[in-house]
């Protein structure tokens, strides 16, 4: 069974927002280099040299894994069509975060750190507002979206909650709390 239109829309969001940094319609190593620069800007220099080197090594591993899974024609470029085909195969067998491709799993701490600029392990409302603003998400009501993320204050927005939302963003066939990472209410 293939992906529905809503799933394709979410996968397109991840392609455009998380990976195609230069907006040329494909993913290449240069997009990963731009990603590092952007996160350094967003985190206002809070990345140490060790963080930077670790991030670069992690992104090099991610790029190799993504290319190995999606670059069908082996041209060192992952097109939208190749990316979508990879996700159609992945989602068919994905039951948990642990089933996501290695490159997706290794990306989670990096993406979370992009939100948790204070480094305290919890994304508060102000940090989430800054994330939406810095990454130009079209979020009409940030406090309402944050309320969904925290289930009305019952759940802490930590790395574990991020993992859950990230998995749901990538795999859910319908609107749910995973949409909040796009700045949208379910």
Query: Taking a C-beta distance cutoff of 8 angstroms, is the pair 111, 18 a contact?
Result: yes
Question: Residue 113 above 80 pLDDT?
Answer: yes
* pLDDT digit string, tens, across residues 1-59: 589 999 999 899 889 988 999 999 999 999 988 887 877 777 666 667 787 787 788 88
93 phi/psi in degrees, rounded to 5: -120, 0
Interhelix angle 125-134/102-115, rounded to 10 degrees, is: 110
Tens digits of residue pLDDT in 116-154: 988 899 999 999 998 888 777 888 899 999 999 999 999
Instruction: Encode pLDDT of 162-186 as tens digits.
Output: 999 999 988 998 888 888 888 787 7
pLDDT computed for residue 86 by the predictor: 92
Q: Which domains does the chain have, with CATH numbers?
A: 5-182 (1.10.238.10)
């Amino acid at each position: 069974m293939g992906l529905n239109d809503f799933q394709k829309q979410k996968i397109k969001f991840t392609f455009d927002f998380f990976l195609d940094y230069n907006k040329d319609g494909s993913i290449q190593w240069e997009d990963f280099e731009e990603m590092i620069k952007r996160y350094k800007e967003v985190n206002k220099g809070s990345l140490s040299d060790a963080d930077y080197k670790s991030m670069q090594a992690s992104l090099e591993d991610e790029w190799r894994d993504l290319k190995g899974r999606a670059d069908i024609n082996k041209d060192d470029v992952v097109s939208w069509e190749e990316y979508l085909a990879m996700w159609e195969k992945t989602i068919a067998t994905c039951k948990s975060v642990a089933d996501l491709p290695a490159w997706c799993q290794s990306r989670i701490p990096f993406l979370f750190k992009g939100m948790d600029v204070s480094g305290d392990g919890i994304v508060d409302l102000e940090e989430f507002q800054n994330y939406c603003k810095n990454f130009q998400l079209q979020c009409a009501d940030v406090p309402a979206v944050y309320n969904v993320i925290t289930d009305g204050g019952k759940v802490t927005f930590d790395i574990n909650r991020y993992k859950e939302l990230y998995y749901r963003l990538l795999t859910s066939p319908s609107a749910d709390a995973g949409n909040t990472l796009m700045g949208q209410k379910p």
